[in-house]
Amino acid sequence: GQSLEQPSEVTAVEGAIVQINCTYQTSGFYGLSWYQQHDGGAPTFLSYNALDGLEETGRFSSFLSRSDSYGYLLLQELQMKDSASYFCAVVMDSSYKLIFGSGTRLLVRP
């Protein structure tokens, strides 16, 4: 079976930095994506890593280590609007099929 593990909840204060980890075991792997979802809303794309290393996009960065089957999402300068659920997702193959992790609820406090 497919398995992606993330912490269930993380709490941080406004302005801080938070890291959300993801470990995976899947039968296929093209890359690791991260999506944000606010309650009742649609998931929105944040980042994608196909190769090892760090990808930076504004306040968000994502890291991948294929040898460790591990990645993380780093959120800097946290804002209240960053309170949401964050999902890592493995791109399984050339069909762009995604398998989602269990999700991490991030609560940003003033």
Partner 1 sequence: GAVVSQHPSRVICKSGTSVKIECRSLDFQATTMFWYRQFPKQSLMLMATSNEGSKATYEQGVEKDKFLINHASLTLSTLTVTSAHPEDSSFYICSATLGVAWDNEQFFGPGTRLTVL
Which residues of this protein are in contact with partner 1, per CB under 8 A? 30-31, 33, 40-45, 47-48, 50, 87, 91, 95-103, 105
Q: Which two tokens stand for residue 36?
A: 């944000």
Q: Using the minimum distance from each CB to partner 1, give the nearer residue, 94 or 110.
A: 94
Report in angstroms how near the CB of residue 15 gets to partner 1 at its nearest. 27
Cα separation of 23 and 64, whole Å?
10
Report in angstroms how near the CB of residue 49 gets to partner 1 at its nearest. 9
Report in angstroms how near the CB of residue 47 gets to partner 1 at its nearest. 8
Q: What is the β-pairing status of strands 104-109 and 84-91? A: antiparallel
Report in angstroms how near the CB of residue 26 gets to partner 1 at its nearest. 12
> Dihedral of CA 54/45/104/12: which sign?
positive
Q: Using the minimum distance from each CB to partner 1, give the nearer residue, 46 or 75.
A: 46
Q: Using the minimum distance from each CB to partner 1, give the nearer residue, 74 or 98.
A: 98
Strand order in the sheet with 53-57: 3-5, 18-25, 70-75, 60-65, 53-57
